[in-house]
Amino acid sequence: METCKTPAELRSHVKWLRKQGLSIAFVPTMGYLHAGHMELVHRAAQVADRVIVSIFVNPTQFGDPRDLETYPRDVVHDLAVLKAADVEAVFLPAAEDIYPEGSETIVETMRLATILHGEVREGHFRGVATVVAKLFNIVQPEYALFGEKDYQQLQVIRQMVRDLHIPLEIIGCPTVREPDGLALSSRNVRLSPEDRTAALVLNRSLCHAEALVARGATVEQIVAEVTAMIAAEPRATLRAVDVTEAVTLRPVSGKPNGPIAIMISAEFGGVLLIDQREATP
Ligand SMILES: Nc1ncnc2c1ncn2[C@@H]1O[C@H](COP(=O)(O)OP(=O)(O)OP(=O)(O)O)[C@@H](O)[C@H]1O
Ligand SMILES: CC(C)(CO)[C@@H](O)C(=O)[O-]
Ligand code: BAL
């Protein structure tokens, strides 16, 4: 497995792969890899000849400096699991290589970046779109894979790829969960045992929301019941419950007549977790 630290090293390895006519699937991550990331890697290996993974804790998508400082990192473990999964190359850039002095270009999906989770984390999706555009330009893959857990992120990236005519296909992958239903997330290690148990309310309330959709509930009923379930968990601080049209994330009210997305963000002991569900009435 090749470990590339600079864009030039990565580009030269990609050039070598291209000479052999090999296709590339790319999995961008912030490291501290878990089974959710590895599911993206396995899926990537099914769609292309070679898989490239990036590990970069992107400073521009963090609003809170403490969140950035305490973001979990373990590159030695990450490289071992990626090697075992037969990954072709890992891109481990330094912040100065991605944002050299004098950088001033940003990428922003104007509507999608500023609604919902973008209101909770101001500037977050601008940072995500900007770094992902840079990574796409460096790697130039045929495919890029993202998790549905970060549902709004997935839609932001799909929109950016469409709007900027970036010639690659985005593949969304279902959320991988612990056996008790908690969505895998790098931030889960920061939860105390009590908060980890409390966080199960996210998946529980999404299952309840799904059942409500199946019973023909209105969007207002779904929001009210999910909000009440999370409010009943004393360790949870609810940040947002949003029910929107799926994919476009446009507002929806009354009885939905097409697929909807239910998105929750809540803090447990200061750790912000998100979870989501798509449901069709
Ligand atoms: N449980 C999961 N199932 C499937 N994909 C996931 C899961 N968790 C993360 N991913 C995806 O992995 C990619 C990299 O995510 P990232 O490195 O931010 O990990 P993370 O676990 O989402 O971390 P955190 O949410 O704590 O920032 C993203 O496309 C993300 O959606
Ligand atoms: C897509 C991403 C790697 C961009 O930094 C990050 O937001 C993530 O890991 O989901
Ligand atoms: N998985 C989303 C990255 C972040 O929380 O910053």
Per-residue model confidence as pLDDT tens digits over 27-44: 999 999 999 999 999 999
Binding residues for (R)-pantoate: 61, 153
Confidence of residue 120 (pLDDT cuts 50, 70, 90): confident
Domain with CATH 3.30.1300.10 in the chain: 191-272
Question: CATH fold of 2-173, please?
Answer: Rossmann fold (3.40.50)
Model confidence at 279, pLDDT cuts 50, 70, 90, reads very high
Residue 51's pLDDT is: 99
- Classified by CATH at the fold level, domain 191-272 comes out as Pantoate--beta-alanine Ligase; Chain: A,domain 2 (3.30.1300)
Whole-number Å distance between alpha carbons of 250 and 151: 14
Q: Does the Cβ of 130 fall within 6 Å of ligand 2?
A: no
CA 125 to chain centre: 11
CB under 8 Å to 232, separation ≥6 — which residues? Answer: 201
User: Has residue 1 got a pLDDT over 90?
Assistant: yes
Cβ 263 vs Cβ 274: under 8 Å:
yes
Determine whether the shortest distance from the Cβ of 241 to ligand 2 is under 6 A.
no
Cite the annotated binding site for beta-alanine by residue number.
Answer: 61
Q: Which ligand is nearest to the CA of 58?
A: 2
Give the closest residue (by CA) to ligand 3 atom 1. 150
Within the chain, which residue ranges are assigned CATH 3.40.50.620? 2-173
Q: Is the pLDDT of residue 261 over 90?
A: yes
CB 272 within 8 A of CB 199: no
Q: Which atom of ligand 1 is nearest to the CA of 145?
A: 29
b/e map 42-55, b = 16+ CB within 10 Å = bbbbeebebbbbbb
Among candidate residues 222, 201, 8, the one with its CA nearest the CA of residue 98: 8
Per-position b or e across 247-270, b if 16+ CB within 10 A of its CB: bebeebeeebeeebbbbbbbbbee
| Ligand 3 contact, 205 CB (< 6 A) | no
| Selection from 95, 31, 33, 4 nearest residue 58 by Cα | 95
Q: Annotated catalytic sites, by residue?
A: 37
Residue 64 has pLDDT above 90, yes or no: no
Q: What is the mean pLDDT of residues 76-101?
A: 98
Which atom of ligand 2 has the smallest separation from the CA of 150? 10
pLDDT tens digits, 135-164: 999 999 999 999 999 999 999 999 999 999
Instruction: Please state the pTM of the whole predicted model.
Output: 0.97
Is a pLDDT exceeding 90 seen at residue 21?
yes
Residue 95 is encoded by which pair of tokens? 């912040």
CB 40 near ligand 1, within 6 Å: yes
